[in-house]
Amino acid sequence: MFKIAVIPGDGIGKEVMEATINVLDALNLDFEYTYGDAGDECLEKTGTALPKETLDLIKNSDACLFGAAGETAADVIVKIRQEMKMFANLRPVKSYPNTNSLFKDVDFMIVRENTEGMYIADEEKETEEGAIARRIITRKAEERIIRYAFEYAKANNRKKVTAVHKANVLKKTDGLFKEIFYEVAEEYPDIESEDFYVDATAMYLITNPQSFEVIVTTNLFGDILSDEGAGLVGSLGLIPSANIGEEGALFEPVHGSAPDIAGEKKANPTAMLLSAVMMLRHLNLTDEADKLDAAILKVLDEGKYLTGDLGGSSNTFEMAEAIKNNL
């Protein structure tokens, strides 16, 4: 039996989580779900966005499914990542049928460093002149994430890893990142290695996304590029993510809490369901992951039950039910 922490969070997180758990139930998994609170509404109720009980729940689980956080995202997701040393953020970008994808053959993984860079709250401070943020790059953390990217490529039959940086301007920090990348690349002679500046990469994602297989980059750049990837394939509602670390794993859709449509059953459940697929693979439940992945693909391919962001008229639960019926 696997212990799964379930944190619906804010806004549409509750809806897509409910839909996803309903679909997972049809797989007859040996899961024990325990629910926890976190996010904006939790802050209003309890005075803290991430209660100790919720953090302990995640720490004592085999994996965590997380819905969405609103304005408190930095106090919730970033803190969970740091507390549990979830150093790798995986964001697959893949084109699906019957979506607004700009291309039909996009399929790459963004491997983003999760623990340092610009996203360290204690390193951002107000000054008399305004404010200042300090960017942290360490050899240990960057070598770990770069090696993870090459190992991912090796395990998933990917032939190329691309490092993304801005070493021409950030000569010390990104200069170190680039240096470490090629040091690690020498250990994987069967995998092609290349590097691009982040601004050039932003252009190549639009002009030639098929050339990418695995992208490895630092925290801020990975965050921005993965949202560009979502636009590339048609919707934030299609992008799942995984946070993998030394002490646990958390799986969440890339989209936020979307308060403008919360409670209206308009949210696309696909990203949350694909996050569940990533969780199943992490738990080595490969057959179940393949079944769910295939059921999602079939519903998208048929195009009968799609949410509004995909040009359809189905609501969150109708689309999820169609996926469930295809298992």
In what helix (H) or strand (E) does residue 68 lie, and over which residues does it extend?
strand 63-68
Distance (Å, whole) CA 15 – CA 189: 46
Partners of 5 in the beta sheet?
34, 64
166 classed as catalytic: yes
Q: Look at residues 17, 49, 12 and name the one whose alpha carbon lies nearest to residue 33.
A: 17
Marked catalytic residue, from 62, 107, 227, 293: 227
Residues with Cβ within 8 Å of 194's Cβ and at least 6 positions away in sequence, in order, are: 160, 161, 162, 163
Marked catalytic residue, from 166, 178, 266, 324: 166
227 classed as catalytic: yes
Marked catalytic residue, from 14, 37, 40, 119: 119
Distance (Å, whole) CA 144 – CA 152: 12
The answer to whether residues 112 and 224 touch, using CB atoms and an 8 Å cutoff, is: no
Marked catalytic residue, from 223, 266, 309, 324: 223
DSSP secondary-structure letter at 21?
H
Query: Residue 66: what are its φ and ψ, rounded to 5°?
Result: -120, 135
Distance (Å, whole) CA 69 – CA 82: 16
Scored b (16 or more CB within 10 A) or e, 85-118 reads ebbbbbbbbbbbebbebeeeebebbbbbbbbbbe
199 classed as catalytic: yes
Marked catalytic residue, from 199, 287, 290, 301: 199
154 classed as catalytic: no
Query: What residues are labeled active site?
Result: 119, 166, 199, 223, 227
